[in-house]
Structure 1
Protein backbone atom coordinates (compact mmCIF):
# COMPACT_ATOMS: atom_id res chain seq x y z
CA UNK A 1 0.00 0.00 0.00
CA UNK A 2 1.27 3.56 -0.69
CA UNK A 3 2.54 5.68 2.23
CA UNK A 4 -0.53 7.88 1.96
CA UNK A 5 -3.22 5.49 0.73
CA UNK A 6 -6.34 6.86 -0.88
CA UNK A 7 -9.77 5.59 0.18
CA UNK A 8 -9.78 3.41 -2.93
CA UNK A 9 -6.36 1.94 -2.05
CA UNK A 10 -7.73 0.89 1.34
CA UNK A 11 -10.75 -0.74 -0.30
CA UNK A 12 -8.54 -2.59 -2.79
CA UNK A 13 -6.50 -4.07 0.05
CA UNK A 14 -9.64 -5.28 1.77
CA UNK A 15 -11.09 -6.76 -1.41
CA UNK A 16 -7.88 -8.62 -2.28
CA UNK A 17 -8.21 -10.50 1.01
CA UNK A 18 -11.81 -11.59 0.37
CA UNK A 19 -12.85 -15.07 -0.78
CA UNK A 20 -14.47 -14.77 -4.23
CA UNK A 21 -17.33 -17.10 -3.36
CA UNK A 22 -18.31 -15.14 -0.28
CA UNK A 23 -18.28 -11.88 -2.22
CA UNK A 24 -20.42 -13.39 -4.98
CA UNK A 25 -23.05 -14.56 -2.50
CA UNK A 26 -23.23 -11.23 -0.69
CA UNK A 27 -23.24 -9.03 -3.76
CA UNK A 28 -25.17 -11.31 -6.19
CA UNK A 29 -22.37 -11.11 -8.77
CA UNK A 30 -20.26 -13.63 -10.67
CA UNK A 31 -16.52 -14.26 -10.57
CA UNK A 32 -14.42 -15.09 -13.62
CA UNK A 33 -11.65 -17.38 -12.33
CA UNK A 34 -9.71 -17.27 -15.60
CA UNK A 35 -9.53 -13.49 -15.57
CA UNK A 36 -9.55 -13.18 -11.76
CA UNK A 37 -12.33 -10.60 -12.02
CA UNK A 38 -15.70 -10.00 -10.44
CA UNK A 39 -18.40 -9.18 -12.99
CA UNK A 40 -20.48 -6.29 -11.68
CA UNK A 41 -23.41 -4.81 -13.66
CA UNK A 42 -23.30 -1.07 -12.89
CA UNK A 43 -26.02 1.20 -14.26
CA UNK A 44 -26.54 -0.98 -17.30
CA UNK A 45 -22.85 -1.56 -18.03
CA UNK A 46 -20.86 -4.75 -17.38
CA UNK A 47 -17.83 -3.92 -15.24
CA UNK A 48 -14.85 -6.18 -14.50
CA UNK A 49 -13.29 -5.69 -11.07
CA UNK A 50 -9.74 -7.05 -10.84
CA UNK A 51 -8.61 -6.87 -7.21
CA UNK A 52 -5.05 -8.10 -7.72
CA UNK A 53 -4.47 -5.62 -10.54
CA UNK A 54 -6.39 -2.87 -8.67
CA UNK A 55 -8.33 -2.05 -11.79
CA UNK A 56 -11.96 -1.76 -12.86
CA UNK A 57 -12.64 -2.18 -16.56
CA UNK A 58 -15.67 -0.71 -18.31
CA UNK A 59 -16.67 -1.49 -21.88
CA UNK A 60 -14.11 0.28 -24.02
CA UNK A 61 -11.52 1.07 -21.36
CA UNK A 62 -10.80 1.77 -17.70
CA UNK A 63 -13.72 2.80 -15.50
CA UNK A 64 -13.78 6.30 -14.06
CA UNK A 65 -12.70 6.82 -10.47
CA UNK A 66 -16.24 7.19 -9.10
CA UNK A 67 -17.52 4.09 -10.89
CA UNK A 68 -14.50 2.10 -9.70
CA UNK A 69 -14.97 3.22 -6.11
CA UNK A 70 -18.67 2.32 -6.17
CA UNK A 71 -17.97 -1.15 -7.59
CA UNK A 72 -15.26 -2.00 -5.06
CA UNK A 73 -17.23 -0.59 -2.13
CA UNK A 74 -20.30 -2.56 -3.21
CA UNK A 75 -18.38 -5.84 -3.36
CA UNK A 76 -17.17 -5.23 0.19
CA UNK A 77 -20.36 -4.03 1.86
CA UNK A 78 -23.29 -5.61 0.01
CA UNK A 79 -25.28 -8.07 2.11
CA UNK A 80 -26.96 -11.31 1.13
CA UNK A 81 -30.36 -9.64 1.44
CA UNK A 82 -32.96 -8.64 -1.15
CA UNK A 83 -33.84 -5.01 -1.88
CA UNK A 84 -36.33 -3.44 0.51
CA UNK A 85 -38.93 -3.08 -2.24
CA UNK A 86 -39.97 0.52 -1.54
CA UNK A 87 -38.59 3.61 -3.26
CA UNK A 88 -37.92 6.43 -0.82
CA UNK A 89 -36.28 9.83 -0.61
CA UNK A 90 -32.58 9.44 0.19
CA UNK A 91 -33.11 11.75 3.15
CA UNK A 92 -35.36 9.18 4.83
CA UNK A 93 -32.53 6.64 5.07
CA UNK A 94 -30.72 6.45 8.41
CA UNK A 95 -28.58 9.65 8.68
CA UNK A 96 -29.74 10.60 5.19
CA UNK A 97 -31.39 13.85 6.26
CA UNK A 98 -28.02 15.05 7.57
CA UNK A 99 -25.87 13.70 4.72
CA UNK A 100 -27.84 14.43 1.54
CA UNK A 101 -27.63 18.22 1.77
CA UNK A 102 -25.46 20.99 0.39
CA UNK A 103 -22.46 19.50 -1.44
CA UNK A 104 -24.00 16.03 -1.10
CA UNK A 105 -27.41 16.91 -2.47
CA UNK A 106 -28.68 14.49 -5.09
CA UNK A 107 -27.59 15.33 -8.68
CA UNK A 108 -31.05 16.22 -9.96
CA UNK A 109 -30.08 19.55 -11.57
CA UNK A 110 -28.16 17.94 -14.42
CA UNK A 111 -31.11 15.68 -15.22
CA UNK A 112 -33.49 18.63 -15.14
CA UNK A 113 -31.28 20.53 -17.58
CA UNK A 114 -30.80 17.56 -19.90
CA UNK A 115 -34.36 16.24 -19.97
CA UNK A 116 -36.68 18.91 -18.55
CA UNK A 117 -37.75 19.96 -22.03
CA UNK A 118 -38.19 16.45 -23.39
CA UNK A 119 -39.63 13.59 -21.34
CA UNK A 120 -39.43 11.52 -24.54
CA UNK A 121 -35.64 11.92 -24.61
CA UNK A 122 -35.51 10.83 -20.97
CA UNK A 123 -37.60 7.75 -21.77
CA UNK A 124 -35.26 6.76 -24.60
CA UNK A 125 -32.18 7.25 -22.45
CA UNK A 126 -33.70 5.40 -19.50
CA UNK A 127 -34.63 2.41 -21.62
CA UNK A 128 -31.14 2.35 -23.17
CA UNK A 129 -29.69 2.12 -19.65
CA UNK A 130 -32.04 -0.71 -18.66
CA UNK A 131 -34.70 1.23 -16.78
CA UNK A 132 -38.18 -0.05 -16.03
CA UNK A 133 -41.04 2.48 -16.41
CA UNK A 134 -42.94 3.62 -13.34
CA UNK A 135 -46.26 5.43 -13.05
CA UNK A 136 -45.12 8.79 -11.66
CA UNK A 137 -44.46 12.34 -12.86
CA UNK A 138 -44.31 12.99 -16.59
CA UNK A 139 -41.80 10.14 -16.94
CA UNK A 140 -40.26 7.86 -14.33
CA UNK A 141 -37.98 4.84 -14.39
CA UNK A 142 -36.47 2.44 -11.91
CA UNK A 143 -32.94 1.20 -12.57
CA UNK A 144 -31.11 -1.87 -11.23
CA UNK A 145 -28.07 0.33 -10.62
CA UNK A 146 -26.35 -2.58 -8.85
CA UNK A 147 -27.65 -6.12 -8.30
CA UNK A 148 -28.97 -5.27 -4.82
CA UNK A 149 -29.47 -1.49 -5.18
CA UNK A 150 -32.31 0.06 -7.16
CA UNK A 151 -32.44 3.77 -8.01
CA UNK A 152 -35.40 5.60 -9.56
CA UNK A 153 -35.67 8.94 -11.34
CA UNK A 154 -38.96 10.82 -11.61
CA UNK A 155 -39.12 13.70 -14.10
CA UNK A 156 -41.62 16.54 -14.32
CA UNK A 157 -41.22 18.52 -17.54
CA UNK A 158 -41.01 22.30 -17.60
CA UNK A 159 -44.18 24.17 -18.55
CA UNK A 160 -45.40 27.76 -18.61
CA UNK A 161 -45.86 27.84 -14.84
CA UNK A 162 -43.16 25.63 -13.37
CA UNK A 163 -39.55 24.76 -14.16
CA UNK A 164 -38.49 21.18 -14.77
CA UNK A 165 -38.02 19.03 -11.71
CA UNK A 166 -36.31 15.68 -11.22
CA UNK A 167 -36.40 13.54 -8.09
CA UNK A 168 -34.01 10.70 -7.33
CA UNK A 169 -35.29 7.88 -5.13
CA UNK A 170 -33.47 4.95 -3.57
CA UNK A 171 -34.56 1.51 -2.50
CA UNK A 172 -35.45 1.56 1.18
CA UNK A 173 -32.68 -0.94 1.98
CA UNK A 174 -29.99 0.72 -0.15
CA UNK A 175 -28.05 1.84 2.92
CA UNK A 176 -27.60 -1.80 3.94
CA UNK A 177 -25.55 -2.45 0.81
CA UNK A 178 -23.61 0.80 0.37
CA UNK A 179 -22.64 3.64 2.72
CA UNK A 180 -24.32 6.97 2.04
CA UNK A 181 -21.33 8.54 0.31
CA UNK A 182 -21.13 5.62 -2.12
CA UNK A 183 -24.88 5.84 -2.77
CA UNK A 184 -24.40 9.50 -3.63
CA UNK A 185 -21.61 8.58 -6.06
CA UNK A 186 -23.78 5.83 -7.54
CA UNK A 187 -26.50 8.38 -8.35
CA UNK A 188 -23.90 10.58 -10.06
CA UNK A 189 -22.74 7.62 -12.14
CA UNK A 190 -26.33 6.84 -13.14
CA UNK A 191 -27.04 10.48 -14.00
CA UNK A 192 -24.04 10.68 -16.29
CA UNK A 193 -25.01 7.38 -17.94
CA UNK A 194 -28.47 8.75 -18.69
CA UNK A 195 -27.16 12.02 -20.10
CA UNK A 196 -24.58 10.17 -22.22
CA UNK A 197 -27.26 7.80 -23.53
CA UNK A 198 -29.24 10.79 -24.80
CA UNK A 199 -26.36 12.14 -26.90
CA UNK A 200 -26.40 11.56 -30.66
CA UNK A 201 -24.25 8.63 -31.72
Structure 2
Protein backbone atom coordinates (compact mmCIF):
# COMPACT_ATOMS: atom_id res chain seq x y z
CA UNK A 1 0.00 0.00 0.00
CA UNK A 2 2.86 2.39 0.90
CA UNK A 3 4.52 1.69 -2.46
CA UNK A 4 1.30 2.61 -4.25
CA UNK A 5 0.99 5.86 -2.28
CA UNK A 6 4.64 6.76 -2.93
CA UNK A 7 4.27 6.01 -6.64
CA UNK A 8 1.20 8.26 -6.84
CA UNK A 9 2.99 11.06 -4.97
CA UNK A 10 6.01 10.68 -7.22
CA UNK A 11 3.79 10.96 -10.30
CA UNK A 12 2.13 14.12 -8.95
CA UNK A 13 5.52 15.66 -8.05
CA UNK A 14 6.81 14.92 -11.56
CA UNK A 15 4.04 16.92 -13.29
CA UNK A 16 5.22 20.41 -12.17
CA UNK A 17 8.85 19.47 -12.84
CA UNK A 18 8.02 18.43 -16.40
CA UNK A 19 6.11 21.69 -16.85
CA UNK A 20 9.01 23.88 -15.70
CA UNK A 21 11.44 21.96 -17.92
CA UNK A 22 9.41 23.15 -20.92
CA UNK A 23 9.46 26.74 -19.59
CA UNK A 24 13.17 26.64 -18.64
CA UNK A 25 14.37 26.02 -22.21
CA UNK A 26 12.86 29.33 -23.38
CA UNK A 27 15.06 31.41 -21.05
CA UNK A 28 18.61 32.56 -21.68
CA UNK A 29 20.98 30.43 -19.54
CA UNK A 30 23.55 33.19 -19.15
CA UNK A 31 20.92 35.63 -17.91
CA UNK A 32 19.44 33.05 -15.51
CA UNK A 33 22.89 32.37 -14.06
CA UNK A 34 23.64 36.09 -13.70
CA UNK A 35 20.26 36.75 -12.02
CA UNK A 36 20.85 34.08 -9.37
CA UNK A 37 24.57 34.44 -8.68
CA UNK A 38 25.26 31.10 -10.39
CA UNK A 39 27.72 30.28 -13.18
CA UNK A 40 26.92 29.20 -16.72
CA UNK A 41 29.43 26.82 -18.29
CA UNK A 42 28.75 27.41 -21.98
CA UNK A 43 31.05 24.61 -23.17
CA UNK A 44 29.30 22.02 -21.00
CA UNK A 45 25.86 23.56 -21.48
CA UNK A 46 25.10 23.67 -17.77
CA UNK A 47 24.35 26.13 -14.99
CA UNK A 48 26.33 25.44 -11.81
CA UNK A 49 24.16 25.76 -8.71
CA UNK A 50 25.06 25.21 -5.06
CA UNK A 51 22.27 23.70 -2.93
CA UNK A 52 23.01 23.45 0.82
CA UNK A 53 26.71 23.17 0.04
CA UNK A 54 26.21 20.56 -2.70
CA UNK A 55 27.37 21.35 -6.23
CA UNK A 56 24.69 20.67 -8.83
CA UNK A 57 24.69 20.95 -12.61
CA UNK A 58 21.49 22.05 -14.33
CA UNK A 59 21.68 20.98 -17.96
CA UNK A 60 20.52 23.50 -20.54
CA UNK A 61 18.10 23.31 -22.33
CA UNK A 62 16.85 19.97 -20.91
CA UNK A 63 16.49 21.09 -17.27
CA UNK A 64 17.89 17.77 -16.03
CA UNK A 65 19.84 18.17 -12.77
CA UNK A 66 22.94 16.22 -11.75
CA UNK A 67 25.10 16.01 -8.64
CA UNK A 68 28.83 16.61 -8.70
CA UNK A 69 29.44 12.84 -8.91
CA UNK A 70 27.42 12.66 -12.14
CA UNK A 71 24.35 11.00 -10.62
CA UNK A 72 20.95 12.46 -11.43
CA UNK A 73 19.09 14.28 -8.66
CA UNK A 74 16.06 12.09 -8.01
CA UNK A 75 13.61 14.00 -5.79
CA UNK A 76 11.23 16.13 -7.83
CA UNK A 77 10.35 18.95 -5.35
CA UNK A 78 13.92 20.32 -5.11
CA UNK A 79 14.38 19.94 -8.88
CA UNK A 80 11.21 21.93 -9.54
CA UNK A 81 12.27 24.53 -6.97
CA UNK A 82 15.67 24.97 -8.62
CA UNK A 83 14.14 25.50 -12.06
CA UNK A 84 11.65 28.05 -10.67
CA UNK A 85 14.54 29.82 -8.89
CA UNK A 86 16.55 30.06 -12.12
CA UNK A 87 13.55 31.19 -14.17
CA UNK A 88 12.28 33.80 -11.67
CA UNK A 89 15.51 35.12 -10.12
CA UNK A 90 15.77 38.92 -10.31
CA UNK A 91 19.44 39.35 -9.41
CA UNK A 92 18.82 41.06 -6.05
CA UNK A 93 21.76 40.63 -3.66
CA UNK A 94 21.22 39.46 -0.07
CA UNK A 95 20.85 42.18 2.56
CA UNK A 96 21.50 42.26 6.31
CA UNK A 97 17.73 42.13 6.97
CA UNK A 98 15.68 39.00 7.61
CA UNK A 99 11.95 38.39 7.60
CA UNK A 100 9.51 35.86 9.00
CA UNK A 101 7.32 33.75 6.76
CA UNK A 102 4.29 35.88 7.66
CA UNK A 103 6.06 38.97 6.28
CA UNK A 104 6.40 37.40 2.84
CA UNK A 105 3.61 38.26 0.40
CA UNK A 106 0.99 35.51 0.84
CA UNK A 107 2.70 34.23 3.99
CA UNK A 108 -0.35 34.79 6.19
CA UNK A 109 -2.49 32.73 3.83
CA UNK A 110 -0.13 29.74 3.84
CA UNK A 111 1.21 30.13 7.36
CA UNK A 112 -0.60 27.18 8.95
CA UNK A 113 0.78 24.88 6.26
CA UNK A 114 4.28 26.33 6.67
CA UNK A 115 4.09 26.08 10.45
CA UNK A 116 3.24 22.38 10.43
CA UNK A 117 5.42 21.46 7.50
CA UNK A 118 8.55 23.40 8.50
CA UNK A 119 8.61 25.19 11.87
CA UNK A 120 7.00 22.37 13.87
CA UNK A 121 9.08 19.80 12.02
CA UNK A 122 12.27 21.69 12.83
CA UNK A 123 11.27 21.82 16.51
CA UNK A 124 10.48 18.11 16.65
CA UNK A 125 13.65 17.13 14.80
CA UNK A 126 16.15 19.17 16.81
CA UNK A 127 14.37 20.69 19.83
CA UNK A 128 15.56 17.90 22.11
CA UNK A 129 18.99 17.58 20.52
CA UNK A 130 20.39 21.09 20.22
CA UNK A 131 23.92 19.72 20.49
CA UNK A 132 23.46 17.80 17.22
CA UNK A 133 21.83 20.86 15.63
CA UNK A 134 24.94 22.90 16.46
CA UNK A 135 27.34 20.23 15.19
CA UNK A 136 25.51 19.93 11.87
CA UNK A 137 25.61 23.65 11.16
CA UNK A 138 29.22 23.93 12.26
CA UNK A 139 30.01 21.11 9.82
CA UNK A 140 28.21 23.07 7.09
CA UNK A 141 30.30 26.15 7.93
CA UNK A 142 27.16 28.14 8.76
CA UNK A 143 27.35 31.47 10.56
CA UNK A 144 26.25 31.50 14.20
CA UNK A 145 23.44 33.95 15.01
CA UNK A 146 22.57 35.37 18.43
CA UNK A 147 19.03 34.00 18.73
CA UNK A 148 17.31 31.30 20.81
CA UNK A 149 19.39 28.49 22.33
CA UNK A 150 21.07 27.96 18.97
CA UNK A 151 20.69 29.69 15.60
CA UNK A 152 22.60 29.65 12.34
CA UNK A 153 22.52 31.49 9.03
CA UNK A 154 23.22 29.27 6.03
CA UNK A 155 23.22 29.52 2.27
CA UNK A 156 20.36 27.51 0.81
CA UNK A 157 21.07 28.42 -2.82
CA UNK A 158 23.29 31.05 -4.44
CA UNK A 159 22.06 34.46 -3.14
CA UNK A 160 19.48 32.77 -0.86
CA UNK A 161 20.17 32.80 2.89
CA UNK A 162 18.04 31.32 5.68
CA UNK A 163 18.24 31.36 9.48
CA UNK A 164 17.17 28.36 11.59
CA UNK A 165 16.72 29.03 15.33
CA UNK A 166 15.93 26.52 18.09
CA UNK A 167 14.67 26.91 21.66
CA UNK A 168 15.09 23.82 23.84
CA UNK A 169 12.06 22.39 25.57
CA UNK A 170 11.74 21.98 29.34
CA UNK A 171 9.20 20.65 31.84
CA UNK A 172 6.85 23.58 31.18
CA UNK A 173 7.24 24.25 27.47
CA UNK A 174 7.84 22.08 24.41
CA UNK A 175 10.74 22.86 22.05
CA UNK A 176 10.13 25.67 19.58
CA UNK A 177 11.83 27.07 16.51
CA UNK A 178 11.82 29.93 14.01
CA UNK A 179 12.77 30.16 10.35
CA UNK A 180 13.79 33.51 8.86
CA UNK A 181 14.48 34.40 5.24
CA UNK A 182 16.73 37.08 3.83
CA UNK A 183 14.73 40.10 2.68
CA UNK A 184 15.68 39.39 -0.95
CA UNK A 185 13.73 36.09 -1.14
CA UNK A 186 10.58 37.65 -2.70
CA UNK A 187 12.72 38.37 -5.77
CA UNK A 188 13.28 34.63 -6.21
CA UNK A 189 10.48 32.70 -4.50
CA UNK A 190 6.77 32.81 -3.67
CA UNK A 191 5.38 31.96 -0.23
CA UNK A 192 4.50 28.49 -1.53
CA UNK A 193 8.08 28.01 -2.77
CA UNK A 194 9.44 28.90 0.66
CA UNK A 195 7.61 25.96 2.23
CA UNK A 196 9.63 23.75 -0.13
CA UNK A 197 12.80 25.65 0.86
CA UNK A 198 12.04 24.77 4.49
CA UNK A 199 11.22 21.17 3.61
CA UNK A 200 14.38 20.60 1.60
CA UNK A 201 16.61 22.34 4.18
CA UNK A 202 15.31 20.30 7.12
CA UNK A 203 15.45 17.03 5.16
CA UNK A 204 19.05 17.78 4.12
CA UNK A 205 20.38 18.57 7.59
CA UNK A 206 18.45 15.69 9.18
CA UNK A 207 20.24 13.24 6.86
CA UNK A 208 23.73 14.57 7.55
CA UNK A 209 26.02 12.22 9.41
CA UNK A 210 28.48 13.62 11.92
When residues 174 and 103 of structure 1 are mapped into structure 2, their CA distance, relative to the original with a 3 A threshold, is: closer
Q: Is the 8 A contact 1:38 1:48 kept in 2?
A: yes
TM-score by structure 1 length?
0.88
1:76 maps onto 2:87 in alignment = yes
Q: Runs of 5+ in structure 1 lacking a partner?
A: none
1:48-59 pair list within 5 angstroms = 48-59=57-68
Equivalent residue for 1:44?
53
Aligned residue pair count: 195
Equivalent residue for 1:121?
132
Cα distance in 2 for partners of 1:70, 1:157 equals: 31
1:20 maps onto 2:59 in alignment = no
Cα distance in 2 for partners of 1:118, 1:31 equals: 40
Q: Runs of 5+ in structure 2 lacking a partner?
A: 1-13
> Pick from 104, 111, 121: which aligns with 1:110?
121
More helix, by proportion: 2
Cα distance in 2 for partners of 1:118, 1:168 equals: 17
Shift of 1:117: 1.7
TM-score by structure 2 length?
0.84
Equivalent residue for 1:180?
191
* Secondary structure class of the residue paired with 2:35: helix
**Alignment deviations for residues 91-121 of structure 1 (CA, whole Å, 9 cap, x no partner):** 1111211122237745123322222122111
Cα distance in 2 for partners of 1:67, 1:130 equals: 22
Equivalent residue for 1:62?
72
